[in-house]
Amino acid sequence: MFREVIEMSNTDIETTITQTPEKATIIEMLKGVVGEERVSDSELERVVYSGDPAVLPQYHYRWKRKYLADYAVRVESEEEIEGILKIAREHNIPVVPRGGASSCMSSSSPSRGGISLDLKPMNKILEINKKGMFVRVEPGVTFEGLANSLDKENLTLGIYPSSAKSAVIGGWIACGGRGGIGTPFYGGLKDHILSLSVIGGDGEVKLLEGDDIDILLHSYGILGVIFEIKLKVHENVREYKSFSYGFRTTDELCNAMVEITKLEVKPIYLKIADDELQKFSNPLEIGKYVLSVTYVDTPSDIPLEDLKSITGKYDGVYISDEFSKKEWDLRYDAEFNPKEHTETLMFQEFWMPVEKVSKMLSKYESYRRSHRIPALWFGMLGSHNEMRLELMAMIDAAQYLKFISSKGILHKMMKRAIKLGGGPYTIGLQNSIYMSRAYPARLTEMQEAKKKWDPNGIMNPDRVTSCLTSFRRIDVLFLLATAFRRLSKYVGG
Ligand SMILES: Cc1cc2nc3c(=O)[nH]c(=O)nc-3n(C[C@H](O)[C@H](O)[C@H](O)COP(=O)(O)OP(=O)(O)OC[C@H]3O[C@@H](n4cnc5c(N)ncnc54)[C@H](O)[C@@H]3O)c2cc1C
């Protein structure tokens, strides 16, 4: 991830290394809140605090210098967050809350410079209450840290994003937490949050409970900073049983998947993928597409006969116990392993009703052929029988035409997803252009909330409620790019 970013920092960006008097004063003020050690304006830290795993090509940064933070600030307490937000309000400085930076789509990357506010140092587990079956945590707590502490009490949160090795709980909440490992069985994050403590962009401290919590889910840091969370926990489960089937066509795979999701017993994990993605973790020897499903291992609850008859009906072939177990073991890695084998792993994530996934996949497969896209894909069942579907392409971002045209294909796929009743999974900076088309009611709700919570507009600007460019502009750009890509097939591009 960092190679491109660091190369970029050494060569192409004209950064202002000399501090302006104003900047020096701001730094002193920030240090006054958190101390010398936890404020930096070094070029390296500003670069590291401005990116995410979906590396953007160098030319992107060349055009948009404000995509670099001016200051990196690490906070350790509610009081420190309050102090930093006060300075930001008084000096009109944008603040970008940052967890593990794994959400991509430039969710936690600046668009107007300002403060990158690192919340990872706030990683304490404040209370584990076994009687009340809840845990209170700070936003920077890691999933591993939480799982280990709960495990000692024979408890579990039960749900984790597959990015759990790098994401933190506050970041997952701000992204909505609808899909992840465990969510088909236990429900999404929304079903687990008992209360949220937040400092609004206006400096007001709020405790949210019940339906009031909804506004903070998918808020991407544009309203305020979450500093404490109370979460429901479950009794721990230690035994799981996995089953993997190979299919020849995406239709057969998806038909089987839809029937499995309708069974009374819900899996803890259900994943689909193509053979290209499998190459990098658990190569497929049977079929071209795989469906892997994992249940809590209480023999009476595993719908074994149903699985056999459903998969048999669609010519799915059971792969092996060893393959199935490996699928479960690799649940935190499979999705991102291809990243190690390509310069740029480009992707777009969709939130789709399971019934509509086959229509998405058949189209992406046809683009793979017609536009020669080095495509691969992955899907994971979330809460309420909806799927987080990830369509990817392994492309070197330095090959401008190939990069931009493949992005164009993903844009076309987004338009299709919206028509089919789905939409973007992560909004962030890049997908804000789709808000009005995919989630118009939510857009209005968030615009109202933004006015109330952040009247100065300092919190993570240019995403969710507003964007830097228009849908129409992007649409024309990508239309041209995909047309060129198609033509390049005939002229050897
Ligand atoms: C390999 C991979 C697998 C993934 N798997 C899943 C998955 O299974 N399920 C899923 O839902 N998502 C998944 N994601 C995307 C997912 O949204 C993120 O991984 C995770 O939720 C983000 O957490 P983070 O700590 O990295 O947040 P960041 O990326 O740092 O931040 C996300 C957003 O939240 C804001 N934010 C961060 N902390 C706070 C806070 N304390 N208060 C207010 N705003 C805040 C940021 O400004 C930003 O807008 C995956 C991503 C990758 C790369």
Does a structural domain hold residue 387? yes
Using CA atoms, how far residue 115 sits from 139, 141, 247, in Å, is 18, 21, 49
Query: Which tens digits make up the pLDDT trace of 320-349?
Result: 999 999 999 999 999 889 988 988 888 999
Does a structural domain hold residue 17? yes
Query: Which tens digits make up the pLDDT trace of 74-100?
Result: 999 999 999 999 999 999 999 999 999
- pLDDT value of residue 478: 86
CA–CA distance, 132 with 135 (Å, rounded to integer): 9
Average pLDDT over residues 420-431: 95
Residue 189 pLDDT exceeds 70: yes
Does a structural domain hold residue 146? yes
Average pLDDT over residues 55-61: 59
| 45-54, 247-256, 317-326, 457-466: the lowest-pLDDT one | 45-54
Is residue 156 located within the same domain as residue 213? Answer: yes
| 54-68, 169-183, 192-206, 458-472: the lowest-pLDDT one | 54-68
Average pLDDT over residues 50-65: 65
CA–CA distance, 348 with 43 (Å, rounded to integer): 30
Structure-token match 């937000």, residue found: 85
Residues 6+ apart with CB under 8 A from 119: 75, 97, 98, 99, 138, 139, 140, 168, 170, 171, 225, 227
CATH number of the domain where residue 391 is located: 3.40.462.40
CA–CA distance, 387 with 359 (Å, rounded to integer): 13
Judged by phi (left if over 0) then psi (alpha if -120 to 50, else beta), residue 203 lies in left
Residues in the ligand 1 pocket, defined by CB under 6 Å: 53, 96-104, 107-108, 119, 139, 161-163, 167-168, 170-172, 174-175, 177, 179-180, 220-221, 225-226, 335-336, 380, 388, 426, 460
Among 103, 206, 453, which is best to mutate for testing ligand 1, by the most ligand atoms less than 8 A from CB? 103
Strands 115-118 and 193-200: unpaired
Report residue 93 as tokens: 């400085």
Is residue 346 located within the same domain as residue 365? Answer: yes
Is residue 297 located within the same domain as residue 361? Answer: yes
Nearest to 169 by CA among 201, 191, 136: 136
CA–CA distance, 61 with 197 (Å, rounded to integer): 35
Q: How confident is the model at residue 469 (pLDDT cuts 50, 70, 90)?
A: confident
Report residue 491 as tokens: 């002229």
Is residue 327 located within the same domain as residue 340? Answer: yes
Is residue 98 located within the same domain as residue 154? Answer: no
Atom of ligand 1 nearest to the CA of 102: 26
Residue 59 pLDDT exceeds 90: no
Query: Which tens digits make up the pLDDT trace of 99-146?
Result: 999 988 889 999 999 999 999 999 999 999 999 999 999 999 999 999
Atom of ligand 1 nearest to the CA of 96: 47
CA–CA distance, 397 with 140 (Å, rounded to integer): 31
| Three-state secondary structure call for residue 186 | helix
Considering 186, 211, 235, which residue would you say is the last residue of a domain? 235
Radius of gyration of the CA atoms of the chain, in A: 23
Q: Across the strands, what pairs with 224?
A: 200
Residues 6+ apart with CB under 8 A from 491: none
DSSP state of 216: G
Contact call for residues 77 and 50 (beta carbons, < 8 A): no
CA of 175 to the centre of ligand 1 (A): 6
Considering 216, 235, 254, which residue would you say is the last residue of a domain? 235
Distance in Å from the first CA to the final CA of the chain? 27
**5 Cα distance to chain centroid:** 20
The total of other beta-carbon atoms located within 10 Å of residue 18's CB is: 7
CATH number of the domain where residue 199 is located: 3.30.465.10
Does a structural domain hold residue 443? no
CA of 143 to the centre of ligand 1 (A): 12
Is residue 361 located within the same domain as residue 417? Answer: yes
Is residue 150 located within the same domain as residue 102? Answer: no
CATH number of the domain where residue 102 is located: 3.30.43.10
Name which residue sits closest to atom 49 of ligand 1, judged by CA. 220
Is residue 90 located within the same domain as residue 133? Answer: no
Does a structural domain hold residue 489? no
Is residue 226 located within the same domain as residue 244? Answer: no
Name which residue sits closest to atom 11 of ligand 1, judged by CA. 177
- pLDDT value of residue 42: 93
Does a structural domain hold residue 297? yes
Considering 200, 235, 270, which residue would you say is the last residue of a domain? 235
How many structural domains are present in the chain?
3
Contact call for residues 264 and 163 (beta carbons, < 8 A): no
Q: How confident is the model at residue 486 (pLDDT cuts 50, 70, 90)?
A: low
The secondary structure element, H or E, covering residue 199 is strand 193-200
Nearest to 63 by CA among 129, 8, 118, 101: 8
Query: Which tens digits make up the pLDDT trace of 162-182?
Result: 999 999 999 999 999 999 999
Task: Give percent of the chain with pLDDT exceeding 90.
Answer: 77
- pLDDT value of residue 105: 87
Is residue 248 located within the same domain as residue 320? Answer: yes
CA of 98 to the centre of ligand 1 (A): 9
Does a structural domain hold residue 469? no
Does a structural domain hold residue 416? yes
Residue 17 pLDDT exceeds 80: no
Domain limits for position 156:
125-235
- pLDDT value of residue 370: 85
Residues 6+ apart with CB under 8 A from 321: none
Among 172, 277, 427, which is best to mutate for testing ligand 1, by the most ligand atoms less than 8 A from CB? 172
Name the packing angle between helices 21-34 and 78-91 (round to 10°). 160
The total of other beta-carbon atoms located within 10 Å of residue 45's CB is: 17
Q: Which has the higher per-residue pLDDT, 65 or 314?
A: 314
CA of 426 to the centre of ligand 1 (A): 9
